[in-house]
Amino acid sequence: MNDFGWLTVLLLVPLVGGVGVLLLPRDHPLFAKRAALGVSLVELVLAIITCASFTQGQPGFQFVQKYSWISDFGISYQVGADGISLVLIALSAVMVPVVILGSWHDADKIEATGRRSVPAFFALILLLEAGMVGVFAATDLFLFYVLFELILIPMYFLIGSFGGPQRQYAAVKFLLYSLFGGLIMLAAVIGLYVLSTQQFPTGTFDYTALLNLNITPGVEKLLFWGFFLAFAIKAPLVPFHTWLPDAGAEAPAGSAALLVGVLDKIGTFGLIRYCIPLFPEASRYFAPLVLVLAVIGILYGALLAMGQRDMKRFVAYTSIAHFGFIALGTFALTSQGGTGAVLYMVNHGLSTGALFLVVGFLVARRGSKDPAAFGGWSKITPLLSGCFLFIGLSSLALPGMSTFVSEFLVLVGTFTRYKVAAILATIGIILAALYILLVYQRTMQGPLSQGVLGALRRRGSGRAQPVAEPDDAGNLRIRDLTGREAWVLAPLMGLILVLGIYPKPVIDTIRPTVDATLQQIHQRDPAPTYPVAPVANVAQPGGGP
């Protein structure tokens, strides 16, 4: 089954399904929702089969397919999956059906305005999934670039058409930042192609062939920055991060979960897939600078998260801190750090995606994103409060949960080579505990806010459910976790717990590819700093040595 074109199937199913949902009549929104959910579940099953067919321990690409596309320029449709890309494709397949179910009513109000239709909303999510699978699977640089840019379109419309009051500003900012980074990367891709025409019989965009290029140090550094800036903006890393809080705050909660949970992983994936193997000397040269940016991002994101009065912006800033950890592990250039960074991508997608969804559930009930508008909600929504606490503890890397394993590997792998950076990054763990617990305390603990108390009294006296508040002109619907919402959060919480207790299958999938990447750039883990004393021979019973 390893020879079957699973990756092409995984790309085509959401692509065809998204086009089909888009063509559905807009006066049947429920059918469009069910169709989109069905397509995403089929994709999930196919992704599980693909993972089961993957042969662990082999660092190279599997499920490889290559077909000539533009032969005059050496451009091919070429896909393949190694341990790193496979786990990110699996993450995409897990998150999309969860987000579709969690976004079941997100497009209904937009539908009422006539601006966009419900089928269009769910079609865009499926098209986004197809693009994400294609980006992670592409092994032709031109194909990768095309998909890297095309994937912006569905997210742009998800934010700009279905987002909050400042949706157009956030969508344009997201698009301009990403296009700017993409154009810089395009120049670097063309540079690699020109070098290939000089060193190979014909020019090529084949990733595996480009690994064998001989590049002079000066040119290598320039090409490194062409790729690095594009991926640093996409991730994003400080100081290229300013588009993320706006996009995360204005996007619908489910779309924000995909944006931060999966789409932004293209940036961190690109760092370890393209920047390091293609430009090994430049990666080593600029590693200290990237580590400084990573540590700044960890501390800066955490400090700003503590001061947010918008819960969606709060989650976005926590992600900036988490992306700092991923970059830290990636550019530590150790096997533990690299493995931890890729595992962190998966675990961050699960925990932050779940956090965006649960925040979306709270905002939909209260009509406000300000934590101060809540207060004491654990008394009236105990199940939702418990889920919020569980997911929050996962985000701060509590032992026993998945993010702890990845964060531990990142810090251990960094400490062996860059001790100061690892120590400073550890402060981010303390800050994470503060910002998560502070937000939980403001929303779920303490006395009920006056607006909530007034609504409860009016509901008890038989008055109408919609209540107008001075700070909230929307509907106030206070209820605990619904059955649909439980189906949304339960799979993510289950995976967080399982991967926190037994991460071995995922680590065994990632580690061979990370080790092969380090071997490709002739990088070894640092030797122990302190010599180990030899063990003295001890006489065995019976007079033996």
Report whether 193 contacts 204 (CB < 8 A): yes
What tens digit of pLDDT does each residue of 218-258 get?
A: 999 999 999 999 999 998 898 998 999 999 999 998 899 99
- 483, HSE (Cβ side, Cα atoms, 13 Å): 0
What tens digit of pLDDT does each residue of 494-507 get?
A: 999 999 999 999 99
Cite the DSSP H helix spans in 464-524.
Answer: 483-501, 504-520
- The size of the chain, in residues, is 545
Task: Name the burial class of residue 236, with classes exposed (0-12), middle (13-18) and buried (19+) by CB atoms within 10 angstroms of its CB.
Answer: buried
Cite the DSSP H helix spans in 103-140.
Answer: 108-113, 118-137
Please give the Cα distance from 523 to 121 (Å, whole number): 46
Instruction: Pick 544 or 479 by higher pLDDT.
Output: 479
Report whether 514 contacts 335 (CB < 8 A): yes
- In order of 530, 531, 538, 539, 543, the CA distances from 535 in angstroms are 15, 12, 9, 12, 19
Among positive and negative, which fits the CA dihedral 211, 215, 221, 225? Answer: negative
pLDDT for the residue numbered 472: 38
Q: Which two tokens stand for residue 32?
A: 């469009």
Q: Report the share of the chain in percent with pLDDT over 90.
A: 64
- In order of 267, 283, 295, 496, 513, the CA distances from 292 in angstroms are 18, 14, 5, 29, 26
Please give the Cα distance from 61 to 78 (Å, whole number): 11
- The average pLDDT across 351-368 equals 89
Q: Within its chain, how far is the Cα of 244 from the centroid?
A: 13
What tens digit of pLDDT does each residue of 394-447 get?
A: 998 899 999 999 999 999 999 999 999 999 999 988 898 888 998 898 888 877
Please give the Cα distance from 73 to 381 (Å, whole number): 60
Q: Report the share of the chain in percent with pLDDT over 70.
A: 89
Please give the Cα distance from 254 to 124 (Å, whole number): 12
Q: Residue 524 contacts by C-beta under 8 Å, 6 or more apart in sequence?
A: 518
Instruction: Pick 355 or 475 by higher pLDDT.
Output: 355
- Assign 95 a pLDDT band (cuts: 50, 70, 90): very high
